[in-house]
Amino acid sequence: MVSADDLMIDPDELLSGLAGTTVLDARWRLGGRPGREDYAEGHIPGAVFIDLDTELAGPPGQNGRHPLPDPAHLQTALRAKGIDDTSKIVVYDAGDGQAAARAWWILRWAGHRDTRVLDGGLKGWAAKGHPVTAETPAPSQGDITVRPGSLPTLTADEAAKLAQTGTLIDARVAPRFRGEVEPVDAVAGHIPGAVNRPTTENTGDDGRLRQQEELRDAFGVDEDAPVGAYCGSGVTAAHTVLALHRAGRTDAALYVGSWSDWITDPNRSVATGE
């Protein structure tokens, strides 16, 4: 099983090791005020901002709204943040862990193992009375080498097959899964055979990731069957993959293009309802 310490870090633990840690502020929201503006107003001391739209994803298009970033582009971005192959990295967002999980997933997909998510995010950090600053650091150039493919991914065809042979989790809210509403993408519904489990169920009211046994029981995934996750564009589903890792399923795959990629081909089936 995966140790919780391998995935998450408590605010107090981060504070005690802050001097030896590269901290990434991954705050992001779908629409509205950019996370970079939140970062400018206040962040964890020493943290550098990483942009989900332009650094943790490629340009939107045929492969979805947040496709995989080009490895060379990602490597340049990570080196500019002072990241080395041996860096201890902690990523955080405002509090729900979803954008931070995307950063965690991309870094681990890129081959960087020592990456953890701040449990409870900046909200949890501030609730402990830990310091926040508006000072922007100037990190030295890093030397990380991006090794793409270190976490499993799904293509559209593979996601369709997984929905029939294993468990494909749709991490969106239930009304979007059922096709009753679709505020973002052009088509409503879900991949046939997928099961719905919203990402919000992965955390408690405090935004902290639920414990291993609780997640294992909640997912109820057959240990001998493959499992994967998708959402609208591969952001919130990364949090479901994080939760699956804590539940012991380190083989969980992410359909990065997710629904925004699925609907680019009109020949792909769309299901609605439960």
**Is 245 assigned a catalytic role?**
no
231, 241, 252, 254: which is the annotated catalytic residue?
231
| Distance from C-alpha of 231 to C-alpha of 228, rounded to nearest angstrom | 11
| Distance from C-alpha of 47 to C-alpha of 71, rounded to nearest angstrom | 23
CB 195 within 8 A of CB 170: yes
Query: Which 3-state string (H, E, C) describes the chain?
Result: CCCHHHCEECHHHHHHCHHHCEEEECCCCCCCCCHHHHHHHCECCCCEECCCCCCCCCCCECCECCCCCCHHHHHHHHHHCCCCCCCCEEEECCCCCHHHHHHHHHHHHCCCCCEEEECCHHHHHHHCCCCCECCCCCCCCCCCCCCCCCCCECCHHHHHHHHHHCEEEECCCHHHHHCCCCCCCCCCCECCCCEECCHHHHECCCCCECCHHHHHHHHCCCCCCCEEEECCCCCHHHHHHHHHHHCCCCCCEECCCHHHHHCCCCCCCCECCC
Query: Which residues are known to be catalytic?
Result: 231
